[in-house]
Amino acid sequence: MALVSTRSMLKKAQQGGYAVGAFNVENMEMVQAVIAAAQEMNAPVMIQTTPGTVRYAGLDLYYAMVSALAQKAEIPVALHLDHGESFEMARDAARTGYTSVMIDGSKLDFEDNIALTCRVVEAVGDTPVEAELGTVGGKEDDTVAHSVAYTDPDKAGEFAQRTGISSLAVAIGTAHGIYKGTPHLDVELLSRIREKVDIPLVLHGASGVPHDQVRECIRRGICKVNYATELRIAYSDGVKAYLNQKPEAFDPKSYGKAGRESVIALVKDRIALCGCQDKA
């Protein structure tokens, strides 16, 4: 089927008490893997590209790949710009055909974040917009390689109301990158945010977060869970294992297939974790 909007996809998840898995891809094999896994699990799925990925190959190339494969799939597939770093990138992604975009103004002050987000919402029309709100610091946390951020519930409510966004990425102790230990997410903070915000909530930086914490976040209102680093590792590990066994291999299709199979296994597991199996 054709690419679908994330608006109805996430609203359905919110009403059903599950989350949609959102998976960052880097190449054709990873796109194939995510859609194949979702097809096998009969699950809705979101495929995402980051600004770095977009700069590597272009919005139009990823749109063409994902839309071509989605046409052959029997499950809902959405294409999302993850962490859009500028107004222009978010606008161009929507114009290219991405079915939702994120504008990440989380490093700006509150009013500047609102202003940037409102510009994007107005520019992209019916395309759903995700934004992020969080302030770095506030708690000590030595389990991650980068500083963590936390979202103020009152500001989250105001932000959602003033911007008209379709979903909000909240900061409750996750961080992008690799965890040095076991993270402990502030699920009580998540519940307070949920009381103030009625649109779908998004959990970023889920790679490496223990499954029980992810499940608890979904129970408390998370409707979309982002995975990026784990997919990169899975693909690379699959390729490395193949080349270790067959160092003479020179056909990219052979080790690309190995990487693809590794990503399929991971995505199936994460779809089950999100509770969206058989929700297509």
Which residues are catalytically annotated?
A: 82
Which stretch of DSSP H or E encloses residue 244?
helix 229-245
Measured N-to-C along each axis, helices 252-274 and 211-219 cross at an angle, to the nearest 10 degrees, of 50
Q: Cα(204)–Cα(106) distance, rounded to whole angstroms?
A: 13
Pairing of strands 77-84, 129-133: unpaired
Count of alpha carbons within 13 Å of 99, Cβ hemisphere only?
Answer: 21
Residue written as token pair 């290219």: 96
- Of 45, 65, 87, 64, which Cα lies nearest the Cα of 226? 45
User: How many Cα atoms occupy the beta-carbon half-sphere of 181 within 13 Å?
Assistant: 7
CA atoms within 13 A on the CB side of 135: 11
Buried b or exposed e, range 101-140, using 16+ CB within 10 angstroms: bbbbbbeeeeeebbebbbbbbebbeebbbbbbbbeeeeee
